[in-house]
């Protein structure tokens, strides 16, 4: 136990860094999804939490934007998302994978 606990704290370091939501992300999302008030922070958190259980978190730009709806549809039952969580996660990944977005290495 004395050895295991510090190891557990090291684990998140293995996950790829999910960039914080930027002002330009928010501006893009406001235009793309005008009917929502999504500030994207909760949605980003949901993505990080719900989509990293089975495989490494996939950085949104790694999947072409047009593919994301299909992927999130397929992962919904695996990640046990309700429809609100699914919609939020989709908004976040669509924003973070939009064409022309700067990809952090
Ligand atoms: C219960 C385990 C599990 C959870 C939770 C999970 N995934 Fe997956 N994911 C898989 C498996 C297994 C595969 C590969 C086989 C497949 O495609 O079904 C996969 C594949 C993928 C791929 C590869 C592309 C593709 O089309 O196959 C992406 C991207 C992905 N997952 C994203 C997500 C996202 C986004 C979430 C959160 C909504 C998520 N995963 C949650 C198990 C999971």
Assess if residue 101 is contained within a domain: no
Assess if residue 75 is contained within a domain: yes
The number of folded domains in the chain is: 1
Which residue minimizes the CA distance to atom 36 of ligand 1? 51
Q: Give distance in angstroms: CA of 75 to centre of ligand 1.
A: 5
Host domain of residue 33: 17-96
Assess if residue 10 is contained within a domain: no
Predicted confidence (pLDDT) per residue in 21-78, tens digit: 999 999 999 999 999 989 999 999 999 999 999 999 999 999 999 999 999 999 999 9
Q: Give distance in angstroms: CA of 12 to centre of ligand 1.
A: 19
Does the structure show a pLDDT above 80 at 5? no
pTM of the model: 0.87
Assess if residue 77 is contained within a domain: yes
Q: Does ligand 1 have an atom closer than 6 angstroms to the CB of 72?
A: yes
Separation of alpha carbons 23 and 20, rounded Å: 10
Assess if residue 21 is contained within a domain: yes
Query: 64 is written with which tokens?
Result: 């072409």
Separation of alpha carbons 26 and 5, rounded Å: 37
Assess if residue 5 is contained within a domain: no
Assess if residue 2 is contained within a domain: no
Assess if residue 58 is contained within a domain: yes
Cα separation values, 47 from 2, 28, 44, 53, 66, Å: 32, 18, 5, 11, 18
């Amino acid at each position: 136990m004395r050895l295991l606990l510090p190891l557990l704290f090291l684990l998140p370091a293995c996950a790829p860094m999910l960039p914080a939501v930027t002002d330009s992300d928010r501006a893009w999302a406001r235009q793309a999804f005008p009917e929502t008030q999504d500030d994207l922070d909760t949605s980003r958190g949901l993505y990080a939490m719900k989509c990293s259980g089975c495989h490494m978190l996939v950085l949104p730009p790694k999947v072409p934007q047009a593919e994301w709806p299909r992927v999130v549809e397929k992962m919904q039952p695996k990640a046990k998302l309700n429809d609100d969580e699914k919609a939020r996660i989709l908004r976040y990944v669509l924003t973070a994978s939009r064409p022309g977005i700067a990809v952090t290495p």
